[in-house]
Chain A
Amino acid sequence: MPLEKISQVSGNAVYVPGDDIDTDRIIPARFMKCVTFDGLGEYLFYDMKFNEDGSKKNHPLNDAKFANSSIMLTGANFGCGSSREHAPQSLYRAGFRAIIAGNFAEIFFGNSINLGMPCVSVSDETRDLISASIEQDPKCEVTVDILNRVIRVGDSSYPHELREGARESLLNGSWDPLDELLQANQGIEDIHKNLAYI
């Protein structure tokens, strides 16, 4: 089945402030004791959202106003730390389809693109303007427009950055590379045979 061509993502957005939000915070390690990714959405930001006694903390993801968000806005170096794909999987399974951040840690970025979840970078100023709009009207529609390299919020439009290769993969529906990798059958075999090691 051909993959979806992702030229834009629209929906409500939620602002989760903070720089250097690591993958342990996105999905604590104890929830990775599983052999499938099913159900990970439930544990997204678990320790940020809940106290140890199970009561809710004051966190944007616990705020009913933002309950239907499919776009997350956040700070710089988002997703730093471990390579666990459980992190983007938990975001995706919690309903997120795009992340806007100051910038992204590299492995997290690649893992997210592989799921067809765009990760676009914006300046601090743009982040502040978008977060103000969301705060003012949580139901306003936010569009991450990959094709035109902008983010639209109401009547406003802001530039975003997305690495060209990742942008291409989303636009032409090749964000999951497996099919393309499988095609290079002979090239793979040649290197396998020529390498000095098995």
Chain B
Amino acid sequence: MSRLNLFEKVWKAHSVGQLQNGQTQLFVGRHLIHEVTSPQAFGMLREKNLPVRYPERTFATVDHIVPTNETQEPYSDPLADAMIKELRKNCKDFDVTFFDVDTGKQGIVHVVGPEQGLTQPGMTIACGDSHTSTHGAFGAIAFGIGTSQVRDLLATQTMALGKLKVRRIEVTGKLNPGIFAKDVILHIIKVLGVNGGTGYAYEYAGDVFDSFSMEERMTACNMSIEGGARAGYVNPDEKTFEYLKGKPYSPKNENWDEVVSNWASFASDEGCHYDDIVKIDASEIGPTVTWGINPSQAIGINETIPDPSLVDQKEKASIEEAIEYMKITPGAPIKGTPIDVAFIGSCTNGRISDLEEVASQIHGHKVKEGIKAIVVPGSQVVSKIAEEKGLDKIFTDAGFEWRYAGCSMCLAMNPDKLIGDQLCASSSNRNFKGRQGSPTGRTMLMSPTMVAAAAITGVISDSREVFSS
């Protein structure tokens, strides 16, 4: 029997056939939707008088536009209010399960899927959101798609897609203390470039990914798209199965061994083919911070901001553009850059382990005066667990605001926005121009612990120094 990698196995199990243009008609077994990219798709279904083919395969939640400081409807923003109502109506009309704000299950779609057990090994998963790659942490093939494809999935449960190549990224050795999954993925993107993954799915592997928790794997897979890769995954193992045991939508326990052996069968075969293999030494990864306007423009905390006069012509223009926008000085250390806002949350780093890690560090510290620091749990489930453990109190005692669940300041479609050219130390995934809601707002991406260190000192800091005592 030929040896296959996980991507090939999952692809094969879900291929309906080949389309005229050579693409594959791929069955997508799990479809997740939210309020921003689905209403137009439902509109197109109504226009064509088509039903949702398998409503039991689609799950909805509301995340991008929900305010994190009010729960009362109608929301203050009438546009946001119209969007949640539209999703509610669409789910009702088409019989789709909706994790609405009153269910206790609402949250960022990529936090909700795994915690509900909807994300499982060997699945194909799609969502009208580029960070759908998060679900690959479970050994699923998960794609971000556009709204026309959301329509295609609702109508046929299939979509047209060209097969991806697979690049295995092995991070070998042991991470130094105080280095997190966020640092690992920022480092990978820095090494391979912001479009290095175009045409590829990334298989993350090696000692570091083997020892990562499921939530750390999710953080890394989440940002695959920031390196240009449409999907990223980790082969399923005991940790995956253990995580899924007992989750609301996981298979029931009586068939558990059978379920696990089926899931395990999707893992890449030893000696299988990869289109490319990249090896990264874990010991080279330090606390990593972005200085520019795309996620590959990142440096170690003890490095200096690049000097455009020292690079070749092609790179020069983009570095100059980034430095001008970020209002930083070439050659200056990144450490010590003053911040205005600190944001902990998002589908990258808004899970319970992220909040626990930060809470365990900040005891006895206070957010620097004048800094706005907010913590936004990734879901209502995360929020509830955190509150049961008293984490909310630890955060508020330290001067952080404790908010309701949602995407919040990652993309600022709700009232949480930067003002003017404020600089935000952010645990989110994108540092694009204007990303956090102000056209001149500035973002530096880093791990949640590094965000907390910046919040406490008021400047970009090495969390290992701030929290050493």
Task: Name A's B-contacting residues (CB within 8 A).
Answer: 18-20, 22, 24-25, 28-30, 32-37, 47, 52, 76-77, 80-86, 88, 103, 105-107, 110-111, 114-115, 163-166, 168-169, 172, 174, 176-178, 180-182, 184, 187-188, 191-192, 195-198
Contacts and interface: CB of A to CB of B under 8 A. Distances in A.
Interface in B436-455: 437, 439-440
For the complex of A and B, list the 10 residue pairs with the smallest distance between their C-beta atoms, beginning with the closest.
A111-B146, A85-B146, A47-B439, A83-B144, A35-B39, A33-B79, A177-B160, A83-B130, A85-B147, A168-B21
A21 to B, nearest CB: 10
B328 interface: no
A197 B434 contact: no
A164 B162 CA distance: 11
Contacts of B122: 196-197
B439 A28 contact: yes
B393 interface: no
Interface stretch (B100-108, B148-156, B208-216, B301-309): B148-156
A197 B251 CA distance: 8
B432 A24 contact: yes
A165 B22 contact: yes
A32 B430 contact: no
Given A34-B79, A107-B130, A176-B148, A165 B318 contact: no
A81 B144 CA distance: 11
B195 A77 contact: yes
Contacts of A198: 29, 56-57
Contact of A81 (B14, B130, B162): B130
Interface in B173-193: none
18 contacts: A20-B194, A25-B434, A37-B40, A47-B433, A81-B225, A81-B430, A83-B130, A110-B146, A164-B22, A177-B23, A180-B19, A180-B160, A187-B16, A187-B17, A187-B25, A192-B157, A195-B14, A197-B123
Contacts of A191: 14, 16, 27
A164 to B, nearest CB: 7
A77 B43 CA distance: 31
B371 interface: no
A120 to B, nearest CB: 16
A114 B146 contact: yes
A33 B65 contact: yes
B160 A36 contact: no
Nearest to A38: B40
Contacts of A47: 433-434, 439
B228 A192 contact: no
Contacts of A33: 65, 77, 79-80, 83, 413
Given A52-B439, A80-B228, A181 B152 contact: yes
B53 interface: yes
A88 B63 CA distance: 23
A184 B25 contact: yes
Given A36-B43, A83-B146, A176-B148, A192 B433 contact: no
Given A36-B39, A169-B21, A177-B160, A84 B413 contact: no
B230 interface: yes
Interface in B192-242: 194-195, 198-199, 225, 228, 230
Contact of A103 (B86, B146, B198): B198
Contacts of A83: 37, 128-130, 132, 144-146, 225
B130 A82 contact: yes
A14 B308 CA distance: 28
B151 A25 contact: no
B457 interface: no
Nearest to A163: B162
Contacts of A85: 37, 40, 128, 146-148
B195 A76 contact: yes
B433 A24 contact: yes
B20 A174 contact: yes
B294 A22 contact: yes
A107 B21 contact: no
Contact of A178 (B86, B123, B145, B152): B152
B294 A80 contact: yes
